[in-house]
Structure 1
């Protein structure tokens, strides 16, 4: 069995997810798992702006949840 390992293990991040109408659908502090990743459950069939902040930096990206979109995103980097 193989798996991925993220760099920021068990660290807290302030996460805000906004839909295309500007409505905040998620706003909470999330702690990454032992593998360095976090789970976010978002409504289907929409596009979202995700903002992630911590003492290490911040990142913002656009993601979507349509049928053919990826369910695992590993390209967001803190700046």
Structure 2
């Protein structure tokens, strides 16, 4: 890496209030607040609205699509032959 052109990377805590979870990771993000972590050190704190702990894609609580109903509508509109060609 070239000197003096990259932002400083440091340990930062990201806290997700929706899932009541906190993550300690490296980041270049700037924080105004700090938090005392379990290891006894103080780290910058960034609050986030959504993270992998609360996002439906990662938690498996995603909305289930009605794929059978969509296929039936397609076949009604375009016929069975059109569905076989696609």
User: What is the TM-score with the length of structure 1 in the denominator?
Assistant: 0.27
Higher relative contact order (CA 8 A, sep 6+): 1
User: What is the TM-score with the length of structure 2 in the denominator?
Assistant: 0.26
Higher helix share: 2
